[in-house]
Amino acid sequence: MNVKRFSRQSDLTAWVLLIILSLIWGSSYILIKRGLDVYTPEQVGTMRLTFAFLILLPTALKNVFRLPGNKLLVLFLIGLVGNILPYLLFSYAQTVLASSVTGILNALTPIFAMLIAVFIFKYKIRGMQIAGMLLGFSGILLLSFIDETGVLGSINIYVWLVIIATLCYAVSLNLIKAYLSDIRSVIVSAVSLLSVGPICMAYLFTTDFIHRFNTVPGSGMSMLYIAILGIVGTAFAMILYTKLIQITDAIFATTVTYMLPIVSIIWGLLDGEILYPVHYAGMLIILSGVYLINKNFNINKSKA
């Protein structure tokens, strides 16, 4: 298989998409935090998906019956693994973790993307990538043992919720690259949301979110933040991200996590969150590992 070569226009488009996604997703953690001021983690996660599902519903209904059954199955898996599970896990994690820390941990996605590409899709790996993987996991361990005062103590289970969420993202983006590169990104996003959106909406109405909206001060603003999160940070961002994966590769697409932590940290500091030197050390270790993994790795190179 020949190495895929991108045109200058494709390169420019890829970098523009990468920057826009970094700004959008780097801001999503503070929006989750504001949503949690009033609503439960389950409500934030399902409400986010409901808004995204509704905004793309016309596109989904227009295209869903044109797709073959095997594609629909993959789209359902993407909706489940790439949306429901990570969104709920991030919401639960941020009941304890600072929004800036969750943004830092999202940098683990390229490590898991590489592991899946190598062990499932049989792509080649070099010693430099193995070193990067080990370095990244050492950063995970460091952040896992930091408590809310910045002291190393017992393991923080909420960090592992984010780690599982990043693994879900990695599975999803590899599925998109492997099986859905021939489908327009807006259709991939819309139909994958159609496959899980009604479930989320149905569950949402079994909770007390309407009561909270009617009785809890600030509920309207919190819902507005979640709406922005769903429409811009989920529906619109999914379209851009799917397009980025399709025109580049799964590993390049995950380099959004280089810039994403910077945006999340800025928002966190503006919101009064405190990060300790050990947090920055963990982030630097993880990003160094991601850099080594991405430096010479091209998922479009010949399979082993």
From the first residue on, what is the mean pLDDT of each consecutive set of 10 residues in the chain (304 residues)?
A: 48 82 88 94 95 94 92 94 92 85 77 76 69 76 66 74 90 86 89 94 94 95 95 89 77 70 81 78 78 59 37
pLDDT at position 247 is 78
pLDDT at position 4 is 45
pLDDT at position 200 is 94
303: in domain: no
91: in domain: yes
264: in domain: yes
Q: What is the 3-state secondary structure (H, E, C) of the chain?
A: CCCCCCCHHHHHHHHHHHHHHHHHHHHHHHHHHHHCCCCCHHHHHHHHHHHHHHHCHHHHHHHHHHCCHHHHHHHHHHHHHHHHHHHHHHHHHCCCCCHHHHHHHHHHHHHHHHHHHHHCCCECCCHHHHHHHHHHHHHHHHHHCECCCCCECCCCHHHHHHHHHHHHHHHHHHHHHHHCCCCCHHHHHHHHHHHHHHHHHHHHCCCCHHHHHHHCCCHHHHHHHHHHHHHHHHHHHHHHHHHHHHHCCHHHHCCHHHHHHHHHHHHHHHCCCCCCHHHHHHHHHHHHHHHHHHHCCCCCCCEC
pLDDT at position 43 is 96
Q: Which residue has the tokens 């910077």?
A: 262
pLDDT at position 34 is 94
- The residue segments making up the domain with residue 222 are 8-12+26-295
Bridge partner list, 303: 123
141: in domain: yes
User: How close are the terminal C-alpha atoms of the chain, in Å?
Assistant: 11
pLDDT at position 249 is 67
Contact between 93 and 162 (Cβ < 8 Å): yes
Contact between 177 and 250 (Cβ < 8 Å): yes
pTM, rounded to two decimals = 0.80
184: in domain: yes
137: in domain: yes
247: in domain: yes
35: in domain: yes
Q: Give the number of domains in the chain.
A: 1
